[in-house]
Structure formats: C-alpha cells, structure tokens
C-alpha cells in the first residue's frame, strides 16, 4: 500500500481535489499556449521524457522532439480552440489522466480556415510537485473529407 493509502479519506479527497485543480490549470495553460502559438509555453508543461502522438504521424519522443513538434504545428497552423475537459482521474500520487475535447477553428496555410474538433488523451506525471504532461495523443472528431 502506498503512503497516501494510509491517510484518512477526507485528507485523500482534499489532495485529490488539489491535484484535479492543478491538472485543470495545466490543461487551460496548454490551450492558451496553442491559441498564442507559444512553443515555450507549451513545452514547459511537458516532462523531460514527454511524448506527443499526433494523428497520422509518428510519435515525438523526448522534450527536444516535443519542442520540434510544437514548432512545426505553430509554423503552419494558427489555432483558436477551446478545451472542454471531460474528466481528470488521478490514478496514483504520481500519475493521472485527462480526457479532453476541443473545438474551434484552425487556419492552415495551405487550406485557409477550417473547423477543428479533436478528442485528446493526456497522461500526467507529478514532477517536483508539479503536474506535467507525460503523454499526449489526439485525433479528430470531424467527419472524414469526401
């Protein structure tokens, strides 16, 4: 049993509530970083061994590659999206996951403005008392192009 399991239920609930608030704040910061095309504000939210798993693309593994992924995203795409957090589930004192939907618009150099909608899964890890994105994957919820 982990040390957290030895705490009274009301203390565990309080800790879990704080964890959920901190993860929610990190998700909103990530949304803002995307809408501001900020590589720095995006990358700072990741663990050093973070992984981005975009749809139709190989994974970007490690912080240097996570940076490259965001640089390439923001170079060709301008985002105006809103995150809708569906659930945040702490699964241990060090790990949690979040399921998020996003909707809005993107402006893609080659295609102009398009409606954007994604479903996203985040795995968070607590590092130095802060919740960081350890894994992030997403896929569109828009219907396929005809």
Give the pLDDT confidence score for residue 27 in this predicted structure.
Answer: 98
φ/ψ (deg, to 5) at 135? -145, 140
Report whether CATH 3.40.605.10 matches the domain 3-140. Answer: no
* Residue 111 pLDDT: 79
Q: How many angstroms separate the Cα of 48 from the Cα of each of 9, 27, 39, 97, 112?
A: 33, 18, 15, 18, 34
Query: Strands 112-127 and 46-53: what pairing?
Result: unpaired
Distance CA 19, CA 21 (A): 5
* DSSP secondary structure code for residue 93 in this structure: S
Q: Where are the domains of the chain?
A: 3-140
Show the tokens assigned to 38.
């900020």
Radius of gyration of the chain from its Cα atoms, rounded to whole angstroms: 16
- The DSSP H or E segment spanning 33 is helix 9-35
CA 20 to chain centre: 14
Low-confidence ranges of the chain (pLDDT < 70): 1-15, 146
- The pLDDT value recorded for residue 110 is 75
How confident is the model over 7-24, as pLDDT tens digits?
A: 466 555 656 789 999 999
- pLDDT at position 16, please? 73
Dihedral Cα 15, 17, 23, 57, nearest 10 deg: 100
Residue 14 has what pLDDT?
A: 53
- At residue 1, the pLDDT reads 44
Between CA 20 and CA 98 the distance in angstroms is: 9
């Amino acid at each position: 049993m982990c040390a957290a399991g030895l705490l009274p239920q009301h203390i565990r609930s309080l800790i879990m509530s704080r964890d959920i608030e901190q993860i929610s704040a990190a998700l909103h910061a990530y949304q803002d970083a995307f809408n501001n095309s900020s590589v720095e504000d995006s990358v700072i939210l990741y663990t050093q061994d973070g992984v981005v798993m975009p749809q139709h693309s190989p994974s970007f593994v490690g912080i240097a590659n996570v940076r490259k992924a965001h640089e390439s995203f923001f170079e060709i795409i301008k985002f105006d999206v809103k995150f809708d957090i569906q659930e945040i589930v702490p699964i241990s004192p060090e790990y949690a996951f979040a399921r998020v939907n996003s909707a809005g618009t993107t402006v893609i150099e080659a295609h102009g403005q398009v409606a954007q909608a994604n479903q996203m899964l985040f795995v968070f890890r607590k590092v130095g008392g802060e919740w960081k994105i350890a894994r992030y994957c997403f896929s569109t919820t828009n219907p396929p192009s005809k």
